[in-house]
Structure 1
Amino acid sequence: MLKVIAPIFLFSLSFPALALVPPDYQEPPSDFTAEIEAGLQLNTGNTESSSFNGRTQLIYDTKQTKQEATLKAYFASEKSKTTSEKYELQLQSNYKLTKGYIFGRGDFTWDQFGSYTQISTISSGYGFNAISSYKTKLSLEVGPGYRYNLPAESVDIPNPDAEKDVILRTAAKFSQKLQEYSSLNADLTAEMGENNNTLTLDMNYKNLVFQDWAFKIGMNIKYTEVVPEGSQQTDTITTFNLLYTFR
């Protein structure tokens, strides 16, 4: 009798719990999203090498504000000798309005082997969503800023002076959902100043392979109008990464 009563008693305890939690229950969407990726890279321009790169992005998106932080790292070595070492930090805070948003942004680059070893840009302005649908998204931003560039040392100029410039920054951020599990993203940024102008295109193709895992092919192209002597105007980085998304 005890063998019969025990299963019935356990079933009676578990039934209310099943009634409270439907079988199709899902956790409510979170305001926080994180992406971590790593893989190989191919460099052309001022740096010729192939090695490791990594990227981490944190996004906290609420009804009133959106906070975004992105950290990128590029590293390469040949025969125990470092040939490429570059770090990028991008911070942006948006305050949402009825139409559009006001943003404050900071871009910081440390590049040991680049034409500029340190680049710091602080900007603010206004942005709005020109297109916002399930498959296509396009946002535009414009605003003033300040840029600090430190050129790389050379034989002729061992201690170069930093270049300081007031700029106008414009940006377009585009995202297109190609299929259910693949998307194309492209960010185009222009910084126009009295002493120098830059144009950066950051684009990638992402394909989901398993749940939160995706394969990502990226390309970053940056054109700088005025560079130190002996440096190239265009830098290109191509990456092949495996990406994981936390939601």
Structure 2
Amino acid sequence: MLRTIVVVCALGTPLSAQALVPPDFKEPPSDFTAEIEGGFQLNTGNTNTTSFNGRTKLVYDTVTAKQEATMKAYYAADSQSATSERYDLQLQSNYKLDSGYVFGRGDATWDRFGSYTRIYTISSGYGFDAINNSKTNLSLEVGPGYRYNLAIATDSAPDPAASTDVILRSAAIFEFKMQEYTSLNAAITSEVGAENNTIALDMSYKNTLFQDWAFTIGTVMKYTQVVPDGTKQTDTITTIGLLYTFQ
């Protein structure tokens, strides 16, 4: 009698209930990932200042190609007016080869208070992974490009003319997973031209707080050899924020 009851219950149980999802089941990885980062600071009282930084990164990575788009925004103001306002846009397409990849890239910077208020660069070339393992990745890129610069207006040059330059761009992109929840990223980019030379460092530290949320600290430094009179050769931006990653 007991055996008959067990058989009847088993036959009467829906198939969806019998096919339980394993506890370690994970969705298959997606080709698309995105990161959204933001930081905000507001000071009142003896000092009235406001600052904001934001970053959005979109990546579509397939077997044959990889597309990346990064947008950054920086803004700061005191009680009187804005003191910093800058926007960066970076687009890159990598087409994978048996060894390495070829790429096309575009960079645009709008910087209201920078030594150059408009900087547009296009480049292409070849890149490869010099190191690639579970913890460390180092990619190297090199190729020719073209750069457009518009200097900020100064007393000596109230209506500056734009300058153009053929450049050689080289970059080293480093990613290091320090442990399960922390990682360090750094990118060094050099642009060498007949009219001007630049070198930039974009470095960030990420510490995962829980699930898809992480705490980040970042530094962006850029050195420009030739700048308008009255402006500085080195610009530095330091950011602190929260990062959300989704797939």
Shift of 1:26: 1.4
Aligned position for 1:101? 101
Query: Is 1:169–2:165 an aligned residue pair?
Result: no
Equivalent residues of 2:50, 2:78 under 8 A apart: no
Alignment of 1:138-153 (within 5 A): 138-153=138-153
Shift of 1:10: 11
Shift of 1:202: 0.6
In 2 relative to 1, CA 169–9 (structure 1 residues): closer, same or farther, beyond 3 Å?
A: same
Query: Is 1:197–2:197 an aligned residue pair?
Result: yes
Aligned position for 1:157? 157
Q: Distance in 2 between matches of 1:113 and 1:22?
A: 56
Shift of 1:24: 2.7
Q: Distance in 1 between matches of 2:159 and 2:53?
A: 30
Aligned position for 1:67? 67
Amino acid corresponding to residue 83 of structure 1 in structure 2: T
Q: Distance in 2 between matches of 1:12 and 1:219?
A: 62
Q: Distance in 1 between matches of 2:147 and 2:139?
A: 23
Q: Which moved more, 1:140-149 or 1:155-164?
A: 155-164
Q: What CA deviation, in whole Å up to 9, does each residue of 1:143-200 have, x standing for no partner?
A: 0000000000112211101110000000000011111100111100000000000000
Aligned position for 1:223? 223
Aligned position for 1:30? 30
Aligned position for 1:238? 238
Q: Distance in 1 between matches of 2:10 and 2:153?
A: 76
Larger RCO (CA within 8 A; separation ≥ 6) = 1
Query: Is 1:209–2:209 an aligned residue pair?
Result: yes
Q: 1:218 is paired with a residue of what secondary structure?
A: strand
Amino acid corresponding to residue 112 of structure 1 in structure 2: R
Q: Distance in 2 between matches of 1:217 and 1:74?
A: 14
Equivalent residues of 1:40, 1:239 under 8 A apart: no
Q: Which moved more, 1:73-82 or 1:49-58?
A: 49-58
Shift of 1:23: 3.5
Q: What CA deviation, in whole Å up to 9, does each residue of 1:11-65 have, x standing for no partner?
A: 9444544416433321100000000001148xxxxxxx86110000000000000
Aligned position for 1:82? 82
TM normalised by structure 2 equals: 0.90
Gapped runs of 5+ residues in structure 1?
1-7, 42-48
In 2 relative to 1, CA 238–18 (structure 1 residues): closer, same or farther, beyond 3 Å?
A: farther
Question: Between the two proteins, what is the percent identity of the paired residues?
Answer: 65
Aligned position for 1:46? none
Query: Is 1:123–2:123 an aligned residue pair?
Result: yes
Q: 2:157 is paired with a residue of what secondary structure?
A: coil
Equivalent residues of 1:102, 1:124 under 8 A apart: yes
Alignment of 1:33-44 (within 5 A): 33-40=33-40
Q: Distance in 1 between matches of 2:224 and 2:168?
A: 15
Provide the aligned length of Structure 1 versus Structure 2. 234
Q: Distance in 2 between matches of 1:212 and 1:18?
A: 31
Gapped runs of 5+ residues in structure 2?
1-7, 42-48
Aligned position for 1:45? none
TM normalised by structure 1 equals: 0.90
Q: 2:159 is paired with a residue of what secondary structure?
A: coil
Aligned position for 2:3? none
Q: Distance in 2 between matches of 1:187 and 1:166?
A: 22
Q: Which moved more, 1:148-157 or 1:8-17?
A: 8-17
Q: Distance in 2 between matches of 1:158 and 1:124?
A: 34
In 2 relative to 1, CA 219–11 (structure 1 residues): closer, same or farther, beyond 3 Å?
A: farther
Q: Distance in 2 between matches of 1:164 and 1:242?
A: 37
Amino acid corresponding to residue 181 of structure 2 in structure 1: Y
Aligned position for 1:91? 91
Query: Is 1:56–2:56 an aligned residue pair?
Result: yes
Amino acid corresponding to residue 120 of structure 1 in structure 2: Y
Q: 1:22 is paired with a residue of what secondary structure?
A: coil
